[in-house]
């Protein structure tokens, strides 16, 4: 396994200084594909926001292992995103937002940046509908544009928060196949929040499973045994 890109050391996460989950100690390996699992209310979103720096740490420490000790660049793909239809943003306009962190606020991206965004849209097979209004795209098409936007940040870590929520089965399989492909081709570290266990079994390497206040961490082979699954779901092994 590769060296870690993120290490969590006795981390406690929560809101207003009150921990909802504590004692989290694990490492996310560089270039790994990690799935974050757990029922609603177990702390997945809180952990994700804390890693992204959107929520302060309650206790413990998050260590980032990027070059020169800098914080890794995150490319974030939310569950869904809506824009006011009064603003006729195209798919390209939305993907171009991924460059704003480098370009700076209120500055027009240079030609090289715009060409790079076109490359990201081609990589996600979204270039064919990038000129259409984002609000008029299907759920699967919107997610491909949002992944292109995340790639346009030139991320070290691609974070996807249930990217297939509300997307049909065919589009779900297509998106996960694509995410797995770019993970391998670009040596991206991927952190995927999902409830789809069959797709996790097929694509992920590592699992972080939040369950009843505990944090389970291991490989798919370690956590997807009948015995471990039965314990997690509080079922008897039959």
Kindly state whether residue 199 falls inside one of the protein's structural domains.
no
Please indicate, yes or no, whether residues 225 and 154 belong to a single structural domain of this protein. no
pLDDT for res 133? 93
Cα distance between residue 116 and residue 180, in whole Å: 21
Residues of the chain short of pLDDT 70, as ranges, are: 67-69, 82, 84-86, 234-238
Kindly state whether residue 77 falls inside one of the protein's structural domains.
no
Kindly state whether residue 130 falls inside one of the protein's structural domains.
yes
Structural domains counted in the chain = 2
Q: 237 in helix, strand or coil?
A: coil
- For the chain, the residue count is 238
| CATH number (domain holding residue 171) | 3.40.50.300
Q: What is the pLDDT of residues 91-113, one digit of tens each?
A: 999 999 999 988 877 788 899 99
Domain membership of residue 90 as a residue range = 82-193
pLDDT for res 69? 63
Kindly state whether residue 132 falls inside one of the protein's structural domains.
yes
Please indicate, yes or no, whether residues 118 and 143 belong to a single structural domain of this protein. yes
Please indicate, yes or no, whether residues 175 and 223 belong to a single structural domain of this protein. no
User: What is the pTM (predicted TM-score) of this model?
Assistant: 0.88
Percentages of the chain per state (helix, strand, coil), in multiples of 5: 40, 25, 35
Cα distance between residue 68 and residue 85, in whole Å: 43
Please indicate, yes or no, whether residues 101 and 56 belong to a single structural domain of this protein. no
Please indicate, yes or no, whether residues 105 and 141 belong to a single structural domain of this protein. yes
How far the first Cα of the chain sits from its last, in Å, is 34
Please indicate, yes or no, whether residues 134 and 232 belong to a single structural domain of this protein. no
Please indicate, yes or no, whether residues 135 and 222 belong to a single structural domain of this protein. no
């Amino acid at each position: 396994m590769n060296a870690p890109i993120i290490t969590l050391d006795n981390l406690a996460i929560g809101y207003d200084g009150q921990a909802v989950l504590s004692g989290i100690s694990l490492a996310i390996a560089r270039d790994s594909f990690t799935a974050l699992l757990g029922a609603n209310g177990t702390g997945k979103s809180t952990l994700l926001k804390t890693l992204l720096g959107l929520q302060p740490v309650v206790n413990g420490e998050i260590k980032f292992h990027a070059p020169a000790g800098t914080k890794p660049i995150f490319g974030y793909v939310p569950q869904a995103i809506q824009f006011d239809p009064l603003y006729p943003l195209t798919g390209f306009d939305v993907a171009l937002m991924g460059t704003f962190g480098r370009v700076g606020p209120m500055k027009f991206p240079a030609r090289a940046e715009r060409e790079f965004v076109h490359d990201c849209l081609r990589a996600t097979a979204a270039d064919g509908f990038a000129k259409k209004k984002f609000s008029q795209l299907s759920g699967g098409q919107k997610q491909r544009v949002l992944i292109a936007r995340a790639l346009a940040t030139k991320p070290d870590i691609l974070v996807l928060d249930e990217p297939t929520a509300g997307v049909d089965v065919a589009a779900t399989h297509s998106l996960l196949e694509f995410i797995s492909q770019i993970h391998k081709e670009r040596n991206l570290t991927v952190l995927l929040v999902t409830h789809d266990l069959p797709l996790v079994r097929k694509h992920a390497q590592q699992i972080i499973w939040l369950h009843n206040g505990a944090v389970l961490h291991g490989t798919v082979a370690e956590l997807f045994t009948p015995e471990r699954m039965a314990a997690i779901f509080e079922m008897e092994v039959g």
